[in-house]
Amino acid sequence: MVIVDESHVKQFKSMLLVRYIYQAADYRRNAMNRLHAVFMSATIRMWRNRGYEEKCDNQSNHAITDYEVRAADELEERRKAEDICISKIKDGLSVLHLVPAAEGKMGAKAVAQRIRSKVSCPVVPLSPRSTYDMAMQKLAEVKENQKVIVAADILEVGTNLKVDVVIDLGVKRTYTCRRGHVRMETTRINQASWTQRRGRVGRKKPGEYHLWGHEVASGLVDQEDACPMDLSMCAMMFKNSSTKLPLLPSTRN
């Protein structure tokens, strides 16, 4: 059995490893020495139409109450989300406010600045360009128990933030590749992101999750295929580096 942890990472070596293990498992599916592979991920992506089981666990230690932020457009959504955030702070709760980016009217900096002018507790903006360690160090500097964290998907990770409420705009900035061109787009979050974001509460006590457009099944975008890359592009690279691929059949070509 081969277990690949953090298999969602969009880094060349990680993507290549996932593709290699998947291709090896697929090749040996009906062989006597069948290869069992488990791909573990904080943000699971789908194996489309390939006959593999996939699991996405959205259970929690404590109850999470779901709320829908009803708004006609992003402008109204932003205003309502910030109003909810301020209301929860006045109730003595700590809030994680998830936004799509660092800059712009819906970005972490602008949202944090608007909220900071209306509350007395610390408001901590985290840039999507921050590393996980940088984000954790910045949060560790906040000594007060009550706080507002304004962040993008840097916090779609398994960290304990000690917050009571998650307010999620439900969109994210991400790179997409269409017709050979890579571009940055704002899209709805997918099921994996929803699971991770919602899971920031409900760990040590009950919590609330507020999401714009709460159609979890139909409103969220399809998850990406975990294996979009063809290994044939890398065959010469492996050959030139004398790298052996023990899980795949040997070939002269």
Q: Do residue 159 and residue 70 come from a single domain?
A: yes
Higher pLDDT, 6 or 201: 201
SS3 state at 71: coil
How many separate domains does the chain show?
A: 2
Q: Do residue 32 and residue 101 come from a single domain?
A: no
- CATH number (domain holding residue 126): 3.40.50.300
Query: Residue 9 CB: number of other CB atoms within 10 A?
Result: 16
- Position 137 in a domain: yes
SS3 state at 3: strand
Q: Do residue 20 and residue 87 come from a single domain?
A: no
> Cα torsion at 246, 247, 251, 253 (round to 10°)?
-100
Confidence label for 219 from pLDDT (cuts 50, 70 and 90)? low
Please report the pLDDT score of residue 148 as a whole number: 92
Stretch 151-177: mean pLDDT, rounded? 79
- Position 54 in a domain: no
Please report the pLDDT score of residue 47 as a whole number: 54
Q: Do residue 183 and residue 75 come from a single domain?
A: yes
Confidence label for 193 from pLDDT (cuts 50, 70 and 90)? confident
- For residue 241, pLDDT over 60 is answered with no
- For residue 94, pLDDT over 90 is answered with yes
Mean pLDDT of the chain: 77
Range of the domain at 14: 2-41+226-240
Stretch 183-193: mean pLDDT, rounded? 79
Tell me, what amino acid is at 242?
S
- Position 51 in a domain: no
Q: Do residue 27 and residue 145 come from a single domain?
A: no
Q: Do residue 84 and residue 184 come from a single domain?
A: yes
Q: Do residue 145 and residue 97 come from a single domain?
A: yes
- For residue 79, pLDDT over 60 is answered with yes
Please report the pLDDT score of residue 116 as a whole number: 92
Distance of CA 180 to the CA centre of its chain: 24
Alpha-carbon distance 29 to 27, whole Å? 6
- Cβ–Cβ < 8 Å for 222, 188: no
